[in-house]
Structure 1
């Protein structure tokens, strides 16, 4: 079922990047938004941009790795928005390095945000959605959820888990009239690399180069994501290269991982 004409939406990781792009895309629908992030200044700037674009936005400080912080978003959404129609579990970070060398503290950090943040959001809002027999989750994963990239195991693990969670939750919530979409973009410009941990100079430069390609940036990803929500689609894979690799992974997975992916990585790095 499409979103209401003027949806009420909670967005985590709303201070910049895709979170801000989603907020601005929703502002064109005159949505009422609750913007959750640890970056207060960034969230307030997003709120100003939303107001200029015709929407309404409220900000709240939230660490998605803390279940209590996310649980409080339910009450905040009631107070600020009068309820909720869409929850966007978007907050994310990046950590890289070789398995066996990556500090376990970095594993804990990325799992806390990228995976537990989505679990916390789904856990907190599922009872409300079931009760009202409507609502939708947009869980932001990545093409890294089905493309296992050497040197980015922590990131790939979290995104693959978000895909699996979304697939299971979709089946669980369908009888209650609640939808789930998992977003799996490839590269587009965000601040995730600059704030990441464990990326060497070569990997950082390669990622920034790929993220800087013309077109198909955050605004495009946000628009395609919301189109998938309106269509009730489980998967949103907005970039053409991601769709091709996804098909290849399903058709000949060992060829992808043993032959093609190593060749691509050598060219990039």
Structure 2
């Protein structure tokens, strides 16, 4: 965090599109970006519950190629280009392998992974033409640390991490950078729309989210500061940094912790 009263480095305003910007982390990002002078459009399936002055709203279903084409057309018409694409839209889900159905896997994959892929494909030509750009993808600590009962969510978030790194290599020569955000649990309305037949997993996640120490505004602030520092893998909270550090630094202990968590989940039925 920047210390109170400290001077931030000067920066030019950016043109930024945030998917899933109507609630939760997306809305917090939009508020923070507008507050520091950026031009922001929130692209979301739903209108914002609390509109933010200075934030435009576009209807966008990340599963729709037509909606993505319309978003590109809007940006071209109103801004003439895009500096930052933040693929933030996502849904919560999960379930043990013998409980969750394949329809649940398909649902979460289409939104959390292919939504990111579609957005990137839509805007990369514009960024290549400009010779610059930044693509930020919201993944999750679940993309790096893989608790039991979350196979589908872990898999798609790990795929987002891998996709982001791949795009960073692929697009570097065109002046386009990438970054991936991997927060731990924070207070978010995302779980209110969580789908899945494994109710035990849903109950555990609901408690973890409700008892999380940080909210979306705090996570958004950490993300923006990390982006200003040029970080590519962003762990915006101490819980995420500690969990990933344990996996990297002490794999045996990490495995023990994960398997104890799996046993507790299985004991719930």
TM-score between both structures, scaled by the size of structure 1:
0.88
Match for residue 126 of structure 2 among 128, 148, 151:
128
Equivalence for 1:263? 260
Instruction: Answer with 12-21 or 185-194: which moved more.
Output: 185-194
In the TM superposition, residue 4 of structure 1 has moved relative to its aligned partner by 4.9
User: Where does the alignment leave 5 or more consecutive residues of structure 1 unmatched?
Assistant: none
1:113-162, Cα deviation, whole Å (9 max, x unpaired): 00000001111111211211111111000000011121111111110000
For the pair 1:33 / 2:37, whether they are aligned, the reply is no
Equivalence for 2:150? 152
Q: How does 1:95-174 map to 2 (within 5 A)?
A: 95-174=93-172
1:96-123, Cα deviation, whole Å (9 max, x unpaired): 2221432221111100100000001111
In the TM superposition, residue 261 of structure 1 has moved relative to its aligned partner by 1.4
8 Å CA contact 2:187–2:212 kept in 1: the answer is no
For the pair 1:59 / 2:57, whether they are aligned, the reply is yes
Distance 1:77 1:207, change over 3 A: same
For the pair 1:22 / 2:29, whether they are aligned, the reply is yes
8 Å CA contact 1:71–1:120 kept in 2: the answer is no
Please give the alpha-carbon distance, in whole angstroms, between the structure 1 residues aligned to 2:117 and 2:156.
11
Q: What is the number of equivalent residue pairs in this alignment?
A: 258
TM-score between both structures, scaled by the size of structure 2:
0.88
User: Where does the alignment leave 5 or more consecutive residues of structure 2 unmatched?
Assistant: 1-8
8 Å CA contact 2:196–2:202 kept in 1: the answer is no
